[in-house]
Structure 1
Amino acid sequence: MSISKGIALITGSAQGIGRGIALRLARDGFNVALNDLPNKDAKLEAVATEIESLGRQVCILPADVTVDKQVKGMVDDAVTKLGGLDVSTIDGFSCPPLATVESWDRTLSVNARGAYLCYKYAAIQMIEQGRGGRIIGASSIAGKMGFAHNSPYTASKFAIRGLTQAAAVELGQYGITVNAYAPGAIQTDMMKITLDESGNVNYEQLIDNASSRKWFMSLAENVPIKHIGQPEDIASIVSYLASKEAHFMTGQFMPLLRLSPAHISVDGGMRMG
């Protein structure tokens, strides 16, 4: 087994983008702690088997990221089982477009509260270790612009942007960088149900409101890269953010669906994106 580059804790890693990130960081040389909800144990076991085949250490840490004690326990267990914490990536979840009070509470609880708790306990551990670290959050293109009929999700992803910048300011003195990636349409299991036989997005199924569908289609038509992204596309960005080479980037919000011009600052956090 080769020398580890460090220990990475990946939430939401049973499938989709989280799984892609876990496998990529394992290939990069990290030992990996896998997290998702307890009802996804079988999928987590499958990811763990793949990581072990790459010659890396791995552990499974089921937890609900909205519960304070479970998040603290998750971080503590990662440290106990793998020996520390150098990288923490925080995934979220999507919600139906119908903005009920229940969907608002659930979405903000997972995407905003859950991210805050993961940032908090990862930061506490990294500060205690005294060797810096990388905290990487999951925002969305919906964290850059409002999406009609999806207010809970949009609000939660704007929250990630603010949380990331505030944490970057607070944690920079400890050598901890805090950044977030912002995916557009990525071909995960959730997205597959909205694709037609040719692999194109079925907007009739994705968005049931006619006016919203027309508005979203007008945006999608102007995206320069026409194909649907893959989890590996996100994982490659996270791979860089987790690396030593990314030490001078913090507080950055990295859109991965270019609906408008964007820039990424590499300035030690002087100008946050």
Structure 2
Amino acid sequence: MTSLPSILLRATTTRRLIYPVHALRCQRTFATSKTLSKTAIVSGSGRGIGKAIALRLARDGFDVCVNDLEHNSSSVESVVNEIKSLGRNALPVYADVSKCSQVESMVETSVAALGPLDVIVANAGIAKIHLGLDATEADTQSVLAVNFYGVLWQDQAAAKQFIKQGAGGKIINCASIVAFRPFPMSPIYCASKAAVRSLTQSFAMELAKHKITVNAYAPGIVDTQMAHAADEIYGVVDGLPKGSFLENAKSMIALGRTSVPEDVAKMVSYLASPDSDYVTGQTMIVDGGIVFS
């Protein structure tokens, strides 16, 4: 999920998990020793930032549960195949993160197929562009259902699994630069990301005794399909040609360019690694140095 406010980019319903848990228990062909195999779940990883994170973690030595909605199955299968080409195992699981029961099943399915869980990246998210006065009940509920409740359910399910395993773990949430400084015309999205930042801090305190770290990453303006969709809407609102918003945004960024998904994936790689073992409760900004006027 990019931090730049955008039109609704993912549906919030799905029909089923692709693999029932019982069907996967016989498919383990890997060592379960944590010294030999690491596993991660990355939600919303069929494309964009989530895809880049899944591929980076695979390169870091993780077997990856690739999650998205079932209507994105072709993209998910492509990510799974790419991970396997890197020599790691990958599992596609279609689940709606706004549904607690589906998130719980996703974690169970991943553990049954890939082994004990080490990392969860609660990346899935959606956004809509509109004035606060135009926010509808349905739009507000859909954004909060994925961006806040979805993160909550993933954090809960992963934490329970980590506690059951007894060896700690890492929870990594997707926040946004708007958790620190809101963008215009996206008040509900901004509020949902601020809530993720607060939830991250609270869970970090609560779960520290279980050797579980909880951190978040906060992307800035990321060059993805989501950003280009938002660019079109901002262009209509401001009466500017297509591409103008993204081009003008570069003037706000100290490094002079919008980011790419791989920029964000590098931060997640750090948060998922032993190098971050003494880091918890933090929301790490990855924005190239955005300067607001």
Letter in structure 2 aligned against 1:58? A
**In the alignment, is residue 228 of structure 1 matched against residue 264 of structure 2?**
no
- Give the 5 Å matches for 1:71-86: 71-86=103-118
The answer for the alignment partner of 1:166 in structure 2 is 202
Aligned to 2:213: 177
Q: 1:95 touches 1:103 (CA, 8 Å); kept in 2? A: no
Question: Which residue of 79, 94, 97 corresponds with 1:47?
Answer: 79
The match for 2:269 among 231, 239, 263 is 239
Q: Which runs of 5+ in 2 are unaligned?
A: 1-29, 240-244
Residue 190 of structure 1 corresponds to: 226
2:123 alignment counterpart: 91
Task: Point out 4+ residue stretches in structure 1 off by more than 6 angstroms.
Answer: 215-219
Alpha-carbon distance in structure 1 between the residues aligned to 2:270 and 2:226 = 26
The normalised TM-score by structure 1 is 0.85
Tell me which of 53, 59, 62 is aligned to 1:21.
53
Equivalent positions of 1:1-273 (< 5 A) are 4-98=36-130, 99-193=135-229, 205-206=233-234, 208-210=236-238, 221-257=251-287, 258-259=289-290
TM-score (norm 2): 0.80
Partner secondary structure for residue 221 of structure 1? helix
Residue 17 of structure 2 corresponds to: none
Contact 1:33 1:61 in 2 (8 A): yes
Tell me the C-alpha RMSD between the 2 structures.
Answer: 2.4
| Shift in Å, 1:188 | 1.3
Deviates more, 1:110-119 or 1:3-12: 3-12
Q: Distance in 2 between matches of 1:168 and 1:206?
A: 36
Q: Percent sequence identity over matched residues?
A: 39
**Alpha-carbon distance change, 62 to 4 in structure 1, aligned in 2, over 3 angstroms:** farther
Task: Say if 1:97 and 1:149, in contact at 8 Å, map to a contact too.
Answer: yes
Per-residue deviation at 1:94? 3.5
Q: Conserved in 2, the CA contact under 8 Å of 1:219 and 1:259?
A: no
Displacement of 1:5: 4.5
Q: Deviations over 1:182-223 (max 9, x none)?
A: 0011111222346xxxxxxx5x64354449xxx999976332
Is the 2:126–2:146 contact (alpha carbons within 8 Å) kept by the matching residues of 1?
A: no
The alignment covers a number of residue pairs equal to: 251
Q: Larger relative CO (CA 8 A, sep 6+): 1 or 2?
A: 2
Q: Separation in 2 of the partners of 1:243 and 1:26?
A: 12
Could you list the runs of 5+ residues in structure 1 that have no partner in the other structure? 195-201, 262-273
Cα deviation, residue 255, structure 1: 1.2
More deviation, 112-121/5-14:
5-14
What is the identity, as a one-letter code, of the residue corresponding to 2:282? Q
Helix, strand or coil for the counterpart of 2:68? Answer: coil
Q: Which amino acid aligns with 1:259?
A: I
Name the SS for the 1:35 alignment partner.
Answer: strand
